[in-house]
């Protein structure tokens, strides 16, 4: 590809390569988001087809683009389906071939950007074509990215801001949001994706969570809350006025609402109030290969995916009798066909009534990333992860103090 410029039209015909150079898909489109304060739009990712799925590949996962293909930094790819979102523009589907007066956008040139933090690409130029008439040849011209007014503009500035925040760590998003006036926070919340807003809420204290979501209607609110981890969701609902809490629970999915009601029934500061029922639970006859397939699911938190809890059926909390745990390291050492019953570690569990300080001491004593919570009948109710324990043991304002220290 000539010079330092990469042309979108050519990129959108390249193979998607893994870290070893093997083709695992095809690039279909390029996603860009508006730059901040007059900066050029930047590439946030690529739309690709892999294993018959149309997926999104984050630009941070790309090590390079050349005439051979778009190469990943890793050997695998996240197969989550691509969903177009407000504030983003697709170069192929939304920019190229659009009319600009008597000209048509025929291509978009990207420029590599290398900073101390990351490598990426930004929009540099736009190629415009004017059709020839009466047998004359078409004419072309290359203009700067901002030479075509409105071509890359988002519907609103807040939609653009929401798009720019999608690739940031939730903790960094929280820092940004806390510096906004209250009215702008709520505007931004309305523009953010449900899952992204849920991630942000989990980084804020409950009082700020309630203020941020106060402008959402009940349908949108429920969609956002259902994206939160159960333990964080329970903490938030516990701080809501009783009438609002009842309204939310009645509007939620029945199964999810029942889980939350059960968690709310435990005394604050106990293992029951701290645990999450969203853990990997399998039976003793399940194989190592099946367990690893579960662990690979990117939806699981790292602390949750570090082990598989093995129980007798049923496999949804409250389960049948708890049998033990198989840790990820053990799974990697065993043949794929081995049954989990042969790999079990008979690790102890805690009672839902145990106080959170004793839970922390238990995790430290056994060097665990997570510990199961069982009732008096030996049924697995959920698990407590070390990150949730740290959240409770640290001072309530630890996130704010950390952000202030980083900014000074």
Average the pLDDT over 69-90 and give the result: 83
pLDDT band at 399 (very low <50, low <70, confident <90, very high): low
Average of per-residue pLDDT across 190-202: 89
Q: What per-residue confidence (pLDDT) applies to 1?
A: 45
Percent of the chain past pLDDT 70, that is, above it, reads 94
Q: Which fold has domain 168-265?
A: MgtE N-terminal fold (1.25.60)
Q: What is the CATH T-level fold of the domain 281-392, as seen in this structure?
A: CBS-domain (3.10.580)
The confidence score (pLDDT) of residue 54 equals 93
- Distance between CA atoms of residues 184 and 166, nearest Å: 17
Q: What is the pTM of this model?
A: 0.70
Tell me the percentage of the chain whose pLDDT exceeds 90: 61
Question: pLDDT (tens digit, 9 = 90+) per residue, 311-360?
Answer: 999 999 899 999 999 999 999 999 999 999 999 999 999 999 999 999 99
Cα–chain center distance at 27: 21
Amino acid 407: pLDDT: 60
Q: How confident is the model at residue 398 (pLDDT cuts 50, 70, 90)?
A: low
Q: Provide the sign of the torsion angle of the four alpha carbons 299, 302, 303, 308, taken in this order.
A: positive
Asked if 66 and 82 count as a contact pair (C-beta separation under 8 A), the reply is no
What are the domain boundaries of the chain? 1-157, 168-265, 281-392
Residue 116's pLDDT band, with cuts at 50, 70 and 90, is low
Looking at per-residue pLDDT, the higher value among 347 and 114 belongs to 347
Count of beta carbons in the 10 Å neighbourhood of residue 251: 15
pLDDT of residue 2: 43
Q: Two tokens at 40? A: 């050029």
Contacts of 193 (CB under 8 A, 6+ apart): 85, 162, 166
The predicted structure's pLDDT at residue 95: 94
Q: What is the pLDDT of residues 237-287, one digit of tens each?
A: 999 999 999 999 999 999 899 999 999 999 999 999 999 999 999 999 999
Measure the CA–CA gap between 305 and 307, rounded to whole angstroms. Answer: 5
Q: At what angle do helices 230-239 and 242-251 cross, to 10 degrees?
A: 140
Structure tokens at 283: 């039976």
| CB contact at 8 A, 109 and 30 | no
Which among 263, 34, 51, 242 is positioned nearest to 151, based on CA atoms?
A: 34
Question: Which pLDDT score is estimated for 19?
Answer: 86
Choice between 307 and 36, residue whose per-residue pLDDT is larger: 307
């Amino acid at each position: 590809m000539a010079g330092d410029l990469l042309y979108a039209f050519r990129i959108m015909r390249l193979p998607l390569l893994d870290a070893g150079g093997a083709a695992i898909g095809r690039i279909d489109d390029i996603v860009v988001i508006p730059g901040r304060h007059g900066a050029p739009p930047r590439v946030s990712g690529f739309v690709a087809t892999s294993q018959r799925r149309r997926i999104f590949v984050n630009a941070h996962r790309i090590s390079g683009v050349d005439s051979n293909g778009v190469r990943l930094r890793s050997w695998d790819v996240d197969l989550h389906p691509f969903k177009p979102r407000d504030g983003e523009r697709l170069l192929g589907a939304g920019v190229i071939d659009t009319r600009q007066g008597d000209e048509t956008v025929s291509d978009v040139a990207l420029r590599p950007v290398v900073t101390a933090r990351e490598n990426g690409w930004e929009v540099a130029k736009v190629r415009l074509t004017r059709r020839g008439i009466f047998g004359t040849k078409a004419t072309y011209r290359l203009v700067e990215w901002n030479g075509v007014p409105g071509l890359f503009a988002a519907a609103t500035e807040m939609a653009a801001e929401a798009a720019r925040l999608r690739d940031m760590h939730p903790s960094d998003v929280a820092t940004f949001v806390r510096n906004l006036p209250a009215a702008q926070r709520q505007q931004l919340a309305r523009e953010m994706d449900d899952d992204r807003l849920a991630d942000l809420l989990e980084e804020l204290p409950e009082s700020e969570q309630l203020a941020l979501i106060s402008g959402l209607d009940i349908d949108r609110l429920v969609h956002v809350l259902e994206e939160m981890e159960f333990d964080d969701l329970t903490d938030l609902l516990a701080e809501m006025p009783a009438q609002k809490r009842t309204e939310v629970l009645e509007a939620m999915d029945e199964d999810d609402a029942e889980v939350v009601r059960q968690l709310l029934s435990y005394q604050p500061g106990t293992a029951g109030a701290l645990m999450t029922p969203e853990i990997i639970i399998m039976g003793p006859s399940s194989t190592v290969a099946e367990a690893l397939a579960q662990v690979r699911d990117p939806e699981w938190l790292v602390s949750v995916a570090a082990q598989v809890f093995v129980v007798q059926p049923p496999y949804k909390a409250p389960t049948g009798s708890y049998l033990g745990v198989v840790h990820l390291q053990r799974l990697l050492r065993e043949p794929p066909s081995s049954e989990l019953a042969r790999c079990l570690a008979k690790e102890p569990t805690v009672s839902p009534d145990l106080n959170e300080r004793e839970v922390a001491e238990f995790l430290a004593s056994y060097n665990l990333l997570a510990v199961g919570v069982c009732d008096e009948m030996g049924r697995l109710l959920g698990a407590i992860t070390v990150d949730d324990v740290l959240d409770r043991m640290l001072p309530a304002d630890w996130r704010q103090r950390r952000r202030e220290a980083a900014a000074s």
